[in-house]
Copies of this chain bind each other. A is one copy, B any other.
Amino acid sequence: MSSVRANVPNRASSTALHWPVTTLSPCRGPAPFRSHIRSAHASAAPATKDAPTAKQQKQKQVGGGGKAVEVAVTPRSEDFSKWYLDVVAKAELADYGPVRGTMVIRPYGYSIWETIQSYLDARFKELGVENAYFPQLIPYSFITKEAEHVEGFAPELALVTKGGGKDLDEPLVVRPTSETIINHMFAQWVQSHRDLPLLVNQWCNVHRWEMRTRPFVRTLEFLWQEGHTAHATAEEAEEEARRMIDVYTDFAVNMAGMPVVAGRKSRIESFAGANCTYTIEAMMGDRRALQAGTSHNLGTNFAKAFGTQYLDRESKRQYVHQTSWGVSTRIIGGIIMTHGDDKGLRLPPRVAPIQAVIIPIVKKEEDRVPVNEAAQRLADAAKAAGIRVKVDADERQTPGWKYNHWEMRGVPVRVEVGPRDVQSGTCVTARRDMPGKEGKQMGVSMEPAAFVAHVQGLLGEIQAGLTAQAAAFRDANIVDVRTYDELKEAIATGKWARGGWAASDEDEKRVKEETQATLRCFPFDQPEGPHTCLMTGQPASEVAIFAKSY
């Protein structure tokens, strides 16, 4: 049914470029992220306005503990792409790995992933899904068993051909996704209808040999969870696929503050091997769409390829009906590009590794101890209430430097404590989502319960505020279109186009060729009809959304 892999909309030329392996032996300074396309060898790239040399960079960024003044990020309003790479590098979310297209997820970035993991993992377990781990190396022959699957994935596989000093008889695929190996196991584990449903998930790394990479958004290796389920009936599989896209929607909206549009992919854009793919599509700050999570109804496609059958109540052999669903580290890129502003990152409190940073303000040495102690008492109270809090008592940096530093890192709430505050028993709070005086509040009580209630209140408001802001931005940038010309105009102005769609796969491909926009989804949330197909003028049962995407 589908011939394009869901995560790689533009794959026509994906094998056209040879990927050199970059081994940056003498590279010393942290280079900020830049497009792999622009500079083929990051370490060897000459100094340009865009890409400071390692040495320049090193002087600017002497790490969290250095005394050097932090250079601000490129304003988002000036150059979105450069802003993104700046934020990723300067907030120390990720760094380039030595092999082209790979990334190192640094502690600050990884801790966002940990908050995502802990939330989703708990949700999966509540729904009866159990974690397991399947081998990463898959016999090449497995990949070829499902016709569309191999067509979708073969061009971007990494292959192990040598092991233990010998050439292997058959190359092994470094897992790009695990439907095949999991079906190989399910076929052994499932015997009877009593073994169903079978609901497993794994947290792991996967590799896809991508041509155009961007940290978090598209990398040669990424981390994700992949859920795989087997059911007795088509109805149950469909329910499961829908249930999981709902879990993802709920996570995106309520945790990540990303007001995604959930819907169904077109045949062309569905996962290679799926009957149907559900997706959550998020609008980034530059109005491009980001596919932030998918859930596939695989039907019996893999079951037939691998012989995954069960005996039903009448002792007849039946194929199982399956689903798979995944969310990856890509969503961290989505969080950055949804909420960030000219100053850097803005993290929704529920996914922020640090929700509140407390900064002691000490001008005279004799104030240091009482001010630091007061700051620590506030931190202890906040921590006890479950707030992720940090005291930044580093004596080598000024308060102003710290304000910028933690603003750039997107910490939602800042608390300032000075000597006069200690005397008056109050402190000052500032919101990351409201610049200047508007977001500041003086005279906040330092009495533990009152302080905690105040900070919790702020965190709730910021979570809601960032979400509402993103939703308003999304709504202002979706245009209802009635004709292909209107679609083209909407896309040309950078917006999403929504209109009736009942045209052919060929028409859909034509839209992509002519506008670079793809059919992102048929939203679950459909406006009232009747609709007319924007391309053919015929009646259409649904509207679709087209947009340029990452």
Contact = CB atoms under 8 A, between A and B. Distances in A.
A136 B195 contact: no
A210 to B, nearest CB: 8
Interface residues of A, number: 89
Interface stretch (A152-160, A232-240, A255-263, A496-504): A152-160
A191 interface: yes
Interface string A154-175: 1111111111111011111010
16 contacts: A19-B164, A23-B142, A28-B188, A29-B188, A30-B189, A64-B195, A66-B195, A95-B185, A97-B135, A99-B139, A104-B132, A104-B185, A110-B133, A111-B131, A157-B164, A165-B209
Interface in A58-79: 58, 62-67
Interface string A82-116: 00000000000001011100111111001101100
Interface of A: 14-15, 18-21, 23-30, 54, 58, 62-67, 95, 97-99, 102-107, 110-111, 113-114, 130-139, 141-142, 154-166, 168-172, 174, 181, 184-185, 187-192, 194-195, 200, 204-205, 207, 209, 211, 220-221, 223, 307, 396
Contact of A211 (B26, B164, B170, B191): B164
Nearest to A200: B107
A156 B66 CA distance: 41
A137 B160 CA distance: 11
Contacts of A133: 104-105, 110, 113, 205, 223
Contacts of A396: 194
A98 B135 contact: yes
Nearest to A54: B188
A189 B137 CA distance: 32
Contact of A155 (B58, B99, B164): B164
B106 A142 contact: no
A236 B168 CA distance: 44
B15 A164 contact: yes
B195 A174 contact: no
